[in-house]
Structure 1
Amino acid sequence: MTGPAVVKILVTCEHATNRVPPEFFRWLDSPGARADLRSHRGYDPGADEASRELAGRLKCHRIVGQQSRLLIDLNRSLGHQELFSKYTVGLDPAIKERVVADYYEPYRQQVRQWIVDQPKGCPVLHLSVHTFTPRYRGKHRQVDVGLLYDPKREAERQLCQDWARRFRRQQRQLCVRMNQPYRGIDDGFTTCLRQLDSSPQYAGVEIEINHRFFKNNASRFLSIVRSLADSLRAIPSMPWAGATPPVAVSTQPH
């Protein structure tokens, strides 16, 4: 008799940096663009650090984006109105095609390939790490940490509910919400991977952390990330039949 399957975890970070490839500097060199690059519009403050800490704590593989979403948004589908920013949406079609070919597709293909390369029947948990701004369009967001998933996918729903319960015990003062400040079925990389069905046992969860913690107290921010990792590892079994918890994941480079 074979033993229970081991959950393989992948951590990704689509908005890890505000870097811009030199060849595109001239389109993002206005005062407004430079200001946006330094802000949440250009990247997710703290997301790179959070993804690194999470992957290290879970001893799993990590893949991160290498350029600002003001060039192209790795978390948007092709054809989405926000795939290109207001600074790049008007670029010549041939240049936009090159951006897709050189920066967008290689990242997405790297993630897809990692998933399909896992052993047949192996449960895959994909954690896409993001941070969000405390105020949006003048309104204060009443959430500190969000777990985004597809409510119609039973494994994701059960996982996030159990995960949130355990996380709240460690971080009682935080406001933890399901599918906030965004919906788990909105356009995003996890949504795309579910549609492609890269693995019959794929589960995708987008983690959203209020970036005020990172900006105000980096140590507090990292303690939240560690609690996320520890509470996930504490789940006795994943919602896939026979799957052992992520603590059993073999160490991979990250």
Structure 2
Amino acid sequence: MARLLTDADGSPVAIENPHGSSPVVLVCEHASRRLPQDMGNLGLGPEALESHISWDPGALAVSLRMVEQLDATLFYQRFSRLVYDCNRPPEAEAAMPAVSEIYDIPGNAGLSAEQRLARTQAIYDPFRNGLADLIAARAAAGQPTVLVTMHSFTPVYHGKPRSVEVGILHDTDARLADAMLAAAAGAAFDTRRNEPYGPIDGVTHTLIEHGLKNGLLNAMIEIRNDLVSDDVGQKVMADYLVGLLGQGLASLPK
């Protein structure tokens, strides 16, 4: 089987501040719109490759600001979700989508089992194993982990505007989400539970795989991406989310 990534592509994952003192580990599955060097453009033009179907605009920038404020650790993916969406298991069609919102993705159409396996091994396996190893190393060192995944969403989806500004998502463990939503009551941003997506949409894979299975406090944050399109918006949002996390964690039993 041919290698999907070349030496020039580098690692599919990256870690910022691996020895941070905070219990919070931020995870950004859709941090980048980069494509591997030998994959071309998947048959897409610049508009699609720069849009939300390729990555979560602003999510990494906000995460990096939160790392500084919290002394948290950040684990993130370095390639586009169009190659492999690391918030989906290998068997999910959405892991390598042939269609995303209004865009057909020619380079993902009719992938063979061998092609899907190559992408899984090159992109998803290092992500899953790397995050699992990070959590296990923290546990071995006696350092608690609170898992928070970071995403952004488009303000207009299939032609329909979205008024929600921040989503706090959870699966079957709502402890952290409940606490953060309580802290968000009356806040400046319209902050809602399991919007604009929820477990029924298949977006909680990372929370299940690395949070629920390890008994960790966990939540997923979704930010409307027009709010974090520049430095000012990213700073304001990072401040807001750091506040929600701090207040939420402080309200939970130790």
Aligned to 1:125: 146
Residue 93 of structure 2: which of 81, 87, 106 is its match?
Answer: 81
Q: Which amino acid aligns with 1:227?
A: Y
After superposition, the Cα gap between the structure-2 partners of 1:99 and 1:231, relative to the gap in structure 1 and judged at 3 Å, is same
Mapping 1:14-163, distance limit 5 Å? 14-25=29-40, 28-30=41-43, 32-86=44-98, 87-119=107-139, 123-150=144-171, 152-163=172-183
Is 1:214 aligned with 2:228? yes
Is 1:8 aligned with 2:8? no
RMSD across aligned C-alpha pairs, in angstroms?
Answer: 2.3
1 CA distance for matches of 2:236 and 2:177?
25
2 CA distance for matches of 1:218 and 1:83?
31
Residue 209 of structure 2: which of 192, 197, 203 is its match?
Answer: 192
Contact 1:184 1:206 in 2 (8 A): no
Return the TM-score normalized by structure 1: 0.79
The structure whose RCO (Cα within 8 Å, separation 6+) is larger is 1
Query: Displacement of 1:15 after TM fit?
Result: 0.5
Query: Displacement of 1:83 after TM fit?
Result: 0.7
Q: Which amino acid aligns with 2:241?
A: L
1 CA distance for matches of 2:111 and 2:173?
38
1 CA distance for matches of 2:201 and 2:53?
18
Q: Which amino acid aligns with 2:52?
A: H
Return the TM-score normalized by structure 2: 0.79
Contact 1:149 1:185 in 2 (8 A): no
Contact 1:143 1:180 in 2 (8 A): yes
Aligned to 2:6: none
Residue 176 of structure 1: which of 191, 195, 200 is its match?
Answer: 191
Q: Which amino acid aligns with 1:144?
A: E
What's the secondary structure of 1:207's corresponding residue?
Answer: strand
Of all paired residues, the percent bearing the same amino acid is 24
Query: Displacement of 1:29 after TM fit?
Result: 4.8
Structure 2 alignment gaps of length 5 or more: 1-20, 99-106
How many residues of Structure 1 are paired with residues of Structure 2 in the alignment? 223
Is 1:225 aligned with 2:241? no
Query: Displacement of 1:228 after TM fit?
Result: 1.0
Is 1:204 aligned with 2:218? yes
Query: Displacement of 1:231 after TM fit?
Result: 3.4
1 CA distance for matches of 2:249 and 2:158?
41
2 CA distance for matches of 1:90 and 1:231?
43
Query: Displacement of 1:65 after TM fit?
Result: 0.4
Q: Which amino acid aligns with 1:73?
A: D
Contact 2:59 2:152 in 1 (8 A): yes
Q: Provide, for residues 168-219 of structure 1, a one-character-per-residue CA deviation record: whole Å limited to 9, x for no partner.
A: 44xx2x2111111111464231133345x1x23x02211111011223x430
